Structure 1
Amino acid sequence: MSNQIQTEIHVDLDNRDKNTALFRIFLVLPAAIFISSFSEFSGDFMGVIGGFLVLPVVLSLLVRNVYPSYVLAFNKSLLELSNRINAYALVLTDDYPSIESNPKVRLIYPDVDGGKKLSPWMPLVKWFLAIPLFILGIIYAIYALALTIIAWISVVKNGIYPEDKAEEAVKVIAYWNRLYGYAVLLITDEYPSFSLN
């Protein structure tokens, strides 16, 4: 079993709601504002990156080689919420992103075992090692955005999301989840693959 975050998104391919898809960019705004409220501290409070708690994890891994379970629970919940919002914004599903868990968008995390399986010094260099992954991730995000525009036109016109476009968009989301698991959430020491597979 992989030590990376695994992403499962059930995509609605047909019988799509054309009206909500047409105005999706406006409908997703309340959810986007809600999740952005978690990253409000990033400029003022060190240790919070995009809403994720990072500094407490780095310090506890360095000093005690322990991953705090309450920080892990918060970071997991925030990433899952972010994925539900992304799936809705990218027109992968018509279900409005719930604040609570949703079986259509699910993330499977590797066993952290309280941090005992993690190297205590790796958090110091993971951000540096992940720079090429972030650069490639930006290219993949542009690719997913282009696919989403094409799929959005198909949903608005025909009520059908092309399956090949859906698979690629989900792969890009999964890539970013693996990257966040490695460089931001620090739940694995296994370097993520550069490929979308």
Structure 2
Amino acid sequence: MPTNPYPVQFAVDYPDRPLNRLTTFFRPLVAIPIAIVLGTVNGGTVQFGTDGGRPATFAAAGGLLFAGPLLMIVFRQKYPRWWQDWNRELLRFSNRVGVFLALLDDRYPSTDEQQSVRLDLPAPDARTDLNRWLPLVKWLLALPHYIVLAVLWLAALVAVIIAWFAILFTGRYPRALFDFVVGVGRWHNRVVAYAFVLVTDAYPPFRLEP
């Protein structure tokens, strides 16, 4: 562990046991129900009907709170705690679904229990811990991370495909691939927490490790 760890911490327990090969084989299909649930609270849009071939009724709800906290930090130097709690729990739920899809865990994602996924975010006092003007440019300052993450997520996709075959034949997720995919998730969560959830002013490090 670094002497000064980044305030956003993400980890997934390595499944040191045989993984379920059947659910691994059908993972995209098995994950459909929980993905729909996630979509309903993650700003997804639901079509209820059609009118002349066109969507008639839509409903969107939830999603990460960004504009509200940004305005409150800039104009009031305040970040309501329940907004922080909502963003943290939604990120945790999203990560559990992502971990399941990435084959890192074969237990079905819970909507509230942490299971093998641990994501810790700081709970800042906006007046003393956050620069009131920085949220206006954080999304732009994080641009180098977007570029790096695009490459890393492509590599992570290849790693998951290789791991899929490894699990089907051996029942185990190769540890090196596991650590890499978790590292990409860690990097992603740090950037999201900095640029969009706005809970820290510490610039995300360019590393996969904690």
TM normalised by structure 2 equals: 0.86
Match of 2:101 in 1: 89
Amino acid at match of 1:28: A
Q: Of Structure 1 and Structure 2, which has the larger fraction of its residues in helix?
A: 1
Question: Which of 145, 148, 166 in structure 2 is aligned with 1:136?
Answer: 148
3-state SS, counterpart of residue 43 of structure 2: helix
Q: Aligned-pair distance for 1:3?
A: 4.4
- What is the correspondence of 1:26-65 to structure 2 with a 5 Å cutoff? 26-37=29-40, 38-40=42-44, 51-65=63-77
More strand by share: 2
Which protein shows a greater Rg?
Answer: 2
| CA gap 1:59/1:130 in 2 versus in 1, 3 angstroms | same
Tell me what 1:67 maps to: 79
- Residue correspondence of structure 1 range 83-122 to structure 2 within 5 A: 83-114=95-126, 116-122=128-134
**DSSP 3-state at the match of 1:84:** helix
1:12 aligned to which of 15, 35, 56: 15
Unaligned ranges ≥5, structure 1 = none
User: Deviation at 1:11?
Assistant: 2.4
Question: Residue 172 of structure 2: which of 153, 160, 164 is its match?
Answer: 160
Note if contact 2:156-2:180 (Cα within 8 Å) is conserved in structure 1.
Answer: yes
* Count of aligned positions: 192
Q: Whole-Å Cα distance in 2 between the matches of residues 115 and 57 of structure 1?
A: 13
In structure 1, how many angstroms separate the alpha carbons of the residues matched to 2:13 and 2:127? 31
Aligned AA (1:141): W
| The 10-residue stretch of structure 1 (178-187 or 111-120) with the greater mean CA deviation from structure 2 | 111-120
What's the CA shift string for 1:87-133, capped at 9, x where partnerless? Answer: 10000001100001223111122241355300000010001111111
Q: Give the corresponding residue for 1:123.
A: 135
Evaluate the alpha carbon distance shift between residue 160 and residue 3 of structure 1 in structure 2; reply closer, same or farther with a 3 A threshold: closer
User: Identity of counterpart residues, as a percentage?
Assistant: 33
Give the 4+ runs in structure 1 shifted more than 4 A: none
TM, length-normalised to structure 1: 0.91
For structure 2, the 5+ residue unaligned runs are 46-57
Matching residue within 91, 98, 107 for 1:79: 91
